Chains A and B, each alone.
Chain A
Amino acid sequence: MSEGTSSNSSIRTALKRVRGLGASGSHATSDFWWQRVTAVGMLLLTVPVIIIVMMLLGRNQAGAGQILGTPVVALIMLLFVVASSWHMKIGMQVVIEDYIHGEKVKLVAILANNFFAIAVALASAYAIFKLSSGV
């Protein structure tokens, strides 16, 4: 601490100057955290989702729609869809950043990743909402 004050007349502390320049300045730590949160969420939802899928096997469209439109089933499926699309968006972002180094290609890949994850999430959520509203 003391060697810094003699060479630098600024009253800003060393911490103030570096804060935000490390991992906390980007979305990296947030992504790391939410990857774990969504993973735990899906872990908790695994058994209910497997039960739902088993219930739906072999049913016709009307029967499957009726089960998927039930409030508890719809909520479990919504949670699973949100958690999985968020989780996979983060995972793909990590893979892109690890293997793609050309700036333009990386930008396009990250855009495509976001669009894909959002499209999957909204298509699934829309279908669940539609079945839930009984239209």
Chain B
Amino acid sequence: MAMSIVHRVTGLALYFGTILLAWWLMAVASGPGAYAIFSGFIGSWIGRLIVFGYTWALMHHLLSGIRHFVWDLGYGFGPSEREGLTWAALIGGVVLTVLLWVLAYAFGGGR
């Protein structure tokens, strides 16, 4: 199915997204000035959009990765099982992303 390529594409997105992770950690380590620049970018609408996309890519890649583990172990190869696992990853990824952002706004005020 075409969903296999989504695992790859989300993986590629996460690859380049780690620049944000490294930038964030380096900004905290560097001091208030560097952290303000980082926060300014992340707080902007484009920054939030990127982090939202990153959250979805991470959640989808995680779930479809579990799907690959099921296959690695030799299960889930039936036609309906394969479809089921794929839909679970697809829907689960969206649900987890929304859930995390609701939690983020609840706990951190979305900042």
Is B25 in contact with A57, judged by CB distance below 8 angstroms?
Answer: no
Is A128 in contact with B107, judged by CB distance below 8 angstroms?
Answer: no
Q: Which residues of B contact A57 (CB under 8 A)?
A: 104, 107-111
Residue B50 CB within 8 A of the other chain = no
Is B28 in contact with A131, judged by CB distance below 8 angstroms?
Answer: yes
Which of B7-15, B74-82, B85-93 sits within the interface?
A: B7-15
Q: Which residues of B contact A36 (CB under 8 A)?
A: 69, 72
A61 to B34, CA, bound (A): 9
How big is the B interface, by class? 20 to 34
Is B22 in contact with A123, judged by CB distance below 8 angstroms?
Answer: yes
Residue among A58, A91, A116, A131 making CB contact with B11, cutoff 8 Å: A91
Q: Which residues of B contact A109 (CB under 8 A)?
A: none
Residue among A58, A61, A91, A120 making CB contact with B111, cutoff 8 Å: A58
Residue A115 CB within 8 A of the other chain = no
Is A127 in contact with B14, judged by CB distance below 8 angstroms?
Answer: no
Q: Which residues of B contact A84 (CB under 8 A)?
A: 14, 18, 21
Chain A residue nearest in CB terms to B59: A46
Count A-side interface residues using an 8 Å CB cutoff: 34
Chain A residue nearest in CB terms to B29: A127
A38 to B22, CA, bound (A): 18
A81 to B22, CA, bound (A): 9
Question: For chain B, what secondary structure do more than half of its interface residues adopt (helix, strand, loop), or is it mixed?
Answer: helix
Using A64-B35, A84-B18, A85-B18 as known contacts, say yes or no to A58 and B108 having CB atoms under 8 A apart. yes
Is B8 in contact with A131, judged by CB distance below 8 angstroms?
Answer: no
Residue B100 CB within 8 A of the other chain = yes
Residue A62 CB within 8 A of the other chain = yes
A64 to B31, CA, bound (A): 11
Chain A residue nearest in CB terms to B38: A61
Chain B residue nearest in CB terms to A68: B28
Q: Which residues of A contact B12 (CB under 8 A)?
A: 92, 95
Is B15 in contact with A91, judged by CB distance below 8 angstroms?
Answer: yes
**Chain A 45-63 per-residue mask, 1 if CB under 8 angstroms from chain B, else 0:** 0100010001011101110
User: In chain A, residues 74-126, which have Cβ atoms closer than 8 Å to a Cβ of chain B?
Assistant: 77, 81, 84-85, 88, 91-92, 95, 116, 119-120, 123-124, 126
Hey, which bits of chain B sit against chain A, CB under 8 A? 8, 11-12, 14-15, 18-19, 21-22, 25-29, 31-32, 34-36, 62, 65-66, 69, 72, 100, 103-104, 107-111
